[in-house]
Structure 1
């Protein structure tokens, strides 16, 4: 079959799919979801952690220095997400997505985000500055942002046999990803109103002071209430 015929047949098959949706009791992996027609419905918090300005870092630093900085960031983010009960479900360049479920999913995701900010500011940036002249001499600033949203989403598999992965359908992963793209340093953690309204006190207040500022961001053509914070949280 010619490639164009193969493409037409594949699109017709995919667009004609009737998904077999089921409620998720755990965060699914690719192996848990049928490539043909599987869909898992999940109430979860989504955290996107995104290293800011990696293109500028690559422009000013040797490739291996850039690679080490990106690896260090993703390593710290992954370790923190896992330590707070989240599961990693996507790497995309210099960005990672964590998924959290359970009663404390909002607070666990937000605590992870604040700890990723601590690691970036207090571990990665000073260590990179002390080690690499290209970072120090060019005054490279290592920054990042995290976005968190919560709600019902669906996980389905996309791609072809032996070349596929989960994709997440719904507002929460999309809005979390958009929030992680915001650059308003020193504000580096951005959360939706649905997350903020049910945070634990320890992730909402610091010594009685609200750590979050109310803002508004456009998403899918409409303004959405969100909150930003310049705080960080040292992991213990």
Structure 2
């Protein structure tokens, strides 16, 4: 069968799919969902951690230095997300996505984001500057941003057999990814109003002072209330 026929049959089959949706009691893995028509509905917080300016780092630093910086950022992000009760469900270059469920999903994801900022500023930046001349001599600034949104999403599998992965359908993962694209240093953590309004004070206040500043940004053709913070949290 020619590739054109394969593609035609695949598109017809996918567009005609009747999904079998179920409520998720845990954060699903790819093996938990049928490739053909499975879907899991989940109320979750999505955190995207995104290393900023990696193209600039790659331009002025040797490839192995760049690789070490990216690996250090992703390693710290993964460890922090998991320590805060989240699960990793996606890597995309120098970006990672964590998923949180449960009553503390907003608070835990926000604390994770603030800890990722601490690790970037106090570990990765300082140690890379001390170790690598290319970072020091070019005054490389290692920056990052985290975005978080919360709500109902669906997980389905996309791809073909032996070459597939989970994709997440819904506003929360899309908006969280968009929030992580912000570059407003020293403000490096961005959360939706849905996160801010229901997270605990332990993630909202520092010594009685609100750590968050209300802003507005465009998303999906509308104006959205968001909150940004220039605070960090020592693990």
2:22 corresponds in structure 1 to: 22
2:98 corresponds in structure 1 to: 98
2:180 corresponds in structure 1 to: 180
Q: Write the deviation string for residues 125-153 of structure 1: whole angstroms up to 9, x where unpaired.
A: 00000000000000000000000000000
2:70 corresponds in structure 1 to: 70
Pairing 1:189–2:189 present: yes
1:209 corresponds in structure 2 to: 209
Query: How far apart, CA to CA, are the structure 1 residues paired with 2:165 and 2:225?
Result: 31
Q: What's the secondary structure of 2:36's corresponding residue?
A: coil
Q: What's the secondary structure of 1:14's corresponding residue?
A: helix
Say how many residue pairs are matched: 235
2:115 corresponds in structure 1 to: 115
1:46 corresponds in structure 2 to: 46
Q: Write the deviation string for residues 77-136 of structure 1: whole angstroms up to 9, x where unpaired.
A: 000000000000000000000000000000000000000000000000000000000000
Query: How far apart, CA to CA, are the structure 2 residues paired with 1:10 and 1:32?
Result: 22
1:230 Cα deviation from its structure 2 partner? 0.1
Q: What's the secondary structure of 1:224's corresponding residue?
A: strand
Q: What's the secondary structure of 1:11's corresponding residue?
A: helix
Query: How far apart, CA to CA, are the structure 2 residues paired with 1:121 and 1:99?
Result: 23
Q: What's the secondary structure of 1:216's corresponding residue?
A: strand
State how 1:220-235 maps to structure 2 within 5 Å: 220-235=220-235
Pairing 1:161–2:161 present: yes
Give 4+ residue runs of structure 1 displaced > 6 Å after superposition.
Answer: none
Structure 2 segments unaligned to the other structure (5+ residues): none
Query: How far apart, CA to CA, are the structure 2 residues paired with 1:4 and 1:226?
Result: 45
Structure 1 segments unaligned to the other structure (5+ residues): none
1:199 Cα deviation from its structure 2 partner? 1.2
RMSD: 0.3
Query: How far apart, CA to CA, are the structure 2 residues paired with 1:12 and 1:99?
Result: 32
Q: Write the deviation string for residues 37-88 of structure 1: whole angstroms up to 9, x where unpaired.
A: 0000000000000000000000010000000000000000000000000000
